[in-house]
Structure formats: C-alpha cells, structure tokens
C-alpha cells in the first residue's frame, strides 16, 4: 500500500481501478508518444557516434577549427542533446502529462475518502 499526498493509505484496488481507466491509458499513451521517439533518436545518435569512433576514427580526427576535432564536436553534441531532450520533456510533461495526472489523482482522492 502506498500513502497518498494526504497521508491516507490506498489499497491495491484503487491502483487497479486507476490503471484500468481511460484517462490513465491516455496518460500512458502521451508519455510513450514522447519517450519512445526521443529514446530512439538519442540512441541512434549515440550509436552513430560510437560506430564512427570504431569504424571511422580518421574521420573523427578531422580538424574542424584549430585543434578542435569532429570527435570533440560530436561528443559535445551528445551533452547538448541530453540537455535539450530534458528541457523538451519538462515542457512536454508540464503541458501534456501533469494536468492529466493531476486530474486522475484528484479523482482518486475524492473517491478514496
């Protein structure tokens, strides 16, 4: 059993009911609509970088600007991508996930009391 925000313990039947609701299914679908493409895109980008490191080290050794190589530019790009995806997720969650999650929680809390 898990305590809700008011400290009241909710039984497993509450969570089973919540999970079966249309709103909860919509919440999961919205989450997956962001997470799956973002994860696939980032992993593709990461594997491209790792693959180039393994099979095209000469290409990655290409100097782009002074002593700055393509490998360093791509490595920094990994960090930039990570922060960008995080910022996009926070924005997406605030607009598309959190309001629906709050509605579900409030409905459960009203029904639980």
Question: Is residue 42 assigned to a domain?
Answer: yes
CA separation for the pair 15, 2 (Å, rounded): 10
Question: Is residue 36 assigned to a domain?
Answer: yes
Question: Is residue 17 assigned to a domain?
Answer: no
Whole-prediction pTM: 0.81
pLDDT tens, 3-50? 555 555 667 777 888 888 999 999 999 999 999 999 999 999 999 999
Contact 81, 49 (CB under 8 A): no
The count of domains in the chain is 1
What is the extent of the structural domain holding 55?
Answer: 22-112
Contact 53, 60 (CB under 8 A): yes
Question: Is residue 1 assigned to a domain?
Answer: no
Question: Is residue 74 assigned to a domain?
Answer: yes
Question: Is residue 10 assigned to a domain?
Answer: no
3-state secondary structure of 67: coil
List residues bridging with 41 in a β-sheet: none
Question: Is residue 97 assigned to a domain?
Answer: yes
Taking the CB of residue 33, how many other CB atoms lie within 10 A of it? 12
Could you tell me the two tokens for 107?
């409905």
């Amino acid at each position: 059993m898990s305590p809700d925000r008011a400290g009241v313990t909710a039984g497993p039947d509450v969570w089973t009911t919540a999970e079966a609701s249309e709103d909860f299914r919509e919440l999961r679908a919205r989450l997956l609509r962001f997470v799956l493409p973002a994860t696939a895109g980032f992993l593709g980008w990461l594997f491209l970088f790792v693959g180039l490191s393994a099979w095209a080290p000469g290409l990655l050794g290409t100097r782009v600007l002074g002593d700055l190589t393509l490998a360093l530019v791509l490595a920094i790009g990994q960090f930039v991508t990570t922060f960008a995806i995080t910022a996009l997720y926070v924005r997406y969650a605030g607009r598309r996930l959190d309001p629906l999650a709050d509605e579900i929680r409030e409905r459960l809390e009203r029904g639980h009391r």
